[in-house]
Amino acid sequence: MTPHLPDVIREPDLPERVVIHEVGPRDGLQNESGVVPTEAKVEFVRRLARAGLGTIEVTSFVHPKWVPQLADAAQVFAAVRADPEVTASGRRLPVLVPNERGLDRALELGAEQIAVFGSATETFAARNLNRTVEASLAMFRPVVARATDAGVRTRGYLSMCWGDPWEGRVPLDRVVRVGKALLDMGCAQLSLGDTIGVATPGHVTALLTAFVEAGVPIETLAVHFHDSYGQALANTLAALRLGVTTVDASAGGLGGCPYAESATGNLATEDLVWMLHGLGIETGVHLGELVATSEWMADLLGRPSPSRAVQALAGRHVDAHGLVLPPKADGPNTEGPKADRPDTDRPNTD
Tell me the C-alpha distance between 304 and 97, whole Å: 31
- Give the three-class secondary structure for 187: coil
Interface characters, 228-257, with ligand HMG (x: CB under 6 A):
-----------------------------x
What is the C-alpha to C-alpha distance for residues 274 and 226, in angstroms, rounded to an integer? 17
Interaction with ligand HMG in 30-49: which residues (CB under 6 A)?
A: 30
Cα–Cα distance, 188 to 220 (Å, whole number): 7
162 forms part of the interface with ligand HMG (CB under 6 A): no
DSSP codes, 80-104: HHT-HHHHGGG-B--EE--SHHHHH
With binding defined as CB under 5 A, does residue 164 bind Mg ion? Answer: no
Candidates 149, 143, 51; CA nearest to 96 is 143
Pick from 22, 27, 112, 270 the residue near Mg ion by CB under 5 A: 27
Window 323-342: residues binding Mg ion (CB under 5 A)? none
Choose the stretch contacting ligand HMG; rule: CB under 6 A; options: 34-42, 61-69, 286-294, 312-320: 61-69
Residue 62 lies near ligand HMG (rule: CB under 6 A): yes
* 57, 94 contact by CB (below 8 A): yes
The span from the CA of 49 to the CA of 285, in Å, is 9
Q: Using the rule CB under 5 A, give the single segment among 24-32, 36-44, 61-69, 106-114 that binds Mg ion.
A: 24-32
Residues 68-107 that bind ligand HMG (CB under 6 A): 98-99, 101-102
Per DSSP, the three-state class of 151 is: coil
Single out the residue of 189, 197, 195, 193 nearest to residue 218, CA to CA.
189
Q: Which residue is nearest to Mg ion (CB)?
A: 27
One residue of 55, 59, 113, 128 binding ligand HMG per CB under 6 A:
128
User: Interface residues for ligand HMG in 210-229 (CB under 6 A)?
Assistant: 224, 226
Residues 188-207 that bind ligand HMG (CB under 6 A): 193, 195
Nearer to ligand HMG, 258 or 278 (CB): 258
User: Which of 185, 257, 267, 290 is an active site residue?
Assistant: 257
DSSP one-letter string for 17-67:
B-EEEE-IIIIIHHT-SSPPPHHHHHHHHHHHHHTT-SEE--EE-S-TTT-
187 assigned to active site: no
- Segments of 143-284 assigned E as strands: 153-159, 189-194, 221-225, 246-249
Of the listed pieces 12-20, 128-136, 228-236, 340-348, which binds ligand HMG according to CB under 6 A?
Answer: 128-136
Span between the terminal Cα atoms of the chain, in Å: 30
Instruction: Provide the minimum distance between the beta carbon of 159 and ligand HMG in the complex, in angstroms, as a whole number.
Output: 3
Selected range binding ligand HMG among 62-70, 210-218, 292-300, 340-348, rule: CB under 6 A: 62-70
Q: Which residues are the active-site residues? A: 257
Query: Contact positions toward ligand HMG, by CB under 6 A?
Result: 27, 30, 60-63, 66-67, 98-99, 101-102, 117, 128-130, 157, 159, 193, 195, 224, 226, 257, 259
Query: Contact positions toward Mg ion, by CB under 5 A?
Result: 27
